[in-house]
Amino acid sequence: MIPVNEPALGHAELARVTEAVRAGHVSSGGPEVLEFEEHWAAYCGRRHGVAVTNGTAALELAVACLDLDPGDEIIMPTFTIISCALAATNRSAIPRLVDADSRTWCMDANLVGDAIGPRTRAVMLVHVYGHPVNIDPVLELAERHGLAVIEDAAQAHGAEYQSNRNGATAWRRCGSFGAMSCFSFYANKLVTTGEGGMLVTDDAALAQRARLLRNLAFEGDRRFRHEHLGFNFRMSNLQAALGIAQVARMDEIVAKKRTIATAYTQGLRDVAGITLPVEEPWARSVYWMYGLVVGSETGLDAEALAKRLSDLGVETRPFFLGLHEQPVFRRRGWFINEKFPVAERLARQGLYLPSGLGLRTGQIEQVIDAVRRCLT
Ligand SMILES: Cc1ncc(COP(=O)(O)O)c(C=O)c1O
């Protein structure tokens, strides 16, 4: 079976982790976490990085830094992982959902304005499967309505967006937009620390607050005396050591992802009945996972295609099931009468192919061959 993800770690990672072990830097206090924070924030074009245990924690920490009141709303795409919703619900805030764009599969920026209400306080930009959201229109709305912007760039390490604001055009990396940006370094991400995440920001006060809340809100001269309710979201130096080695290889990592995507696109673009990922002119995708949407005219849905591919030795993953279709929210009576037709179609017809950094050319050819056999 060709796995949907296989990480590619090498000598540099081994050397950095070994060094940390030798130096006894195993827990969170020590130089590796600081170095990783500095390097990753700099790579993203941010001033500050706060490393945490995972991407879900980074999102929750970002929302905690906003000091919302219970019942405040955060706009987010329905087509995303539950972590985004949890960051809201764990802080007593409510997700307000927006449908996906049928081309990029990210939140449709044209629909965000309609979701803004009197309790809206923030908006979450989630870059899906490596392709950036159309960020500028959302930033403009957020400025006009005084909303905080949190970027979820878990799947978009190194992706770029061409921003055209205030008369200036500039390509900027995902992770550099809004008040705070969040990353996951789970094993299937471009940079992995096994488990891990980071919040990056340009705002020194937000960074300080995030650091305080990350570490049980220890502060002041008297240890074990607390003014705030925090979390234990600390990353260890062993994890950070793994990350440091990969930040240095980011150009190579992004190039490999783009090479995999180019090979898939070349091998599949003439197959009728499937839609392949796009790259908008204002975007440079990192194709975190190479997705495809199978047309219903083929008589297949994603589940049936996944079964056929599995029989041919190819592992896949289904696309997200929209937040509005999650039983846990439906049981609360949330989103009951809301329709998000694009996300609903993607959830039923979309899946992604093996896309890990460890994928070899021969395996890509096998996957292409298998998809072609399933559909022609
Ligand atoms: C878009 C997005 N946000 C957040 C997360 C959560 O990251 P983690 O699994 O590290 O908690 C993920 C994980 O895959 C993700 O894809």
240-291 pLDDT tens trace: 999 999 999 999 999 999 999 999 999 999 999 999 999 999 999 999 999 9
Cα–Cα distance for residue pair 138/125, rounded to 1 Å: 8
Instruction: Round the average pLDDT of the chain to a whole number and report it.
Output: 97
The answer to whether residues 352 and 319 touch, using CB atoms and an 8 Å cutoff, is yes
Which segments of the chain have a pLDDT < 70?
none
Cβ atoms within 10 Å of 347's Cβ, excluding its own? 20
Question: Would you give the DSSP letter of residue 325?
Answer: G
For residue 332, the cross-strand partners are none
Which residue owns the Cα nearest ligand 1 atom 3? 154
53 CA distance to ligand 1 middle (Å): 11
- The alpha carbons of the chain give a radius of gyration, in whole angstroms, of 21
For residue 182, the cross-strand partners are 152, 199
**What confidence tens digit (pLDDT) does each residue in 197-228 have?**
999 999 999 999 999 999 999 999 999 999 99
Cα–Cα distance for residue pair 78/97, rounded to 1 Å: 5
Decide: residue 103, CB within 10 A, 0-12 exposed, 13-18 middle, 19+ buried: middle
271 CA distance to ligand 1 middle (Å): 31
pLDDT of 166: 85
- 268 Cβ contact list (under 8 Å, min separation 6): 274, 276, 292, 368, 371, 372
353 vs 69, 74, 154, 198, CA distance in Å?
41, 31, 18, 27
Q: Whole-model pTM? A: 0.98
Bridge-based pairing state of the strands 148-152 and 168-173: unpaired
9 CA distance to ligand 1 middle (Å): 20
- 211 Cβ contact list (under 8 Å, min separation 6): 50
Q: Which atom of ligand 1 is nearest to the CA of 186?
A: 10
